[in-house]
Amino acid sequence: MLNMAADLLVALHFAFILFVVLGGMLVLRWPWLAWLHLPAAVWGALIELVGWTCPLTPLENRLRRMAGEGGYTGGFIENYVAPIVYPPGLTPTLQLGLGLAVILINLIVYVVVLRRVGRR
């Protein structure tokens, strides 16, 4: 049961990351989502830029250990996302680039959103 909770937490964590990176696209369709997306995008960028550990990572590790499984070292991105999407060896420079990419992608989207709102 605890390992299922940890797996569900991984799915939630990944969905949150997708929302941080791509949620601005949803704001283009539903502008009210900006109230949810902007704080999420700021949090996601800060996690990458400052090098903080997302609180979901230690929680997942704790659930896995309680279920008798091994936890992992490093962060969520290094363990789950990096092996799939990013080159091996997530470096601080690459992590900084990811944080800046989140900011840039969302900045572009919000410029479009503000222009649309300004035309109304």
pLDDT at 87: 55
Which residues, in sequence order, are CB contacts of 62 under 8 Å at separation 6+? 71
Query: What is Dmax (Cα atoms) for the chain?
Result: 57
- How many Å apart are CA 50 and CA 33, to the nearest integer? 25
Instruction: Name the residue among 47, 44, 46 with its Cα closest to residue 15.
Output: 44
Residue 26 has pLDDT above 80, yes or no: yes
Ranges of beta strands (E only) in 28-108 are none
Q: Is the pLDDT of residue 6 over 90?
A: no
Q: Do residues 76 and 13 touch, judged by C-beta distance below 8 A?
A: yes
Which pLDDT band holds residue 42 (cuts at 50, 70, 90)?
very high
Other beta carbons less than 10 A from residue 50's beta carbon: 10
Residue bearing tokens 């936890």: 71
Q: For residue 79, what pLDDT is reported? A: 65
pLDDT at 9 over 70: yes
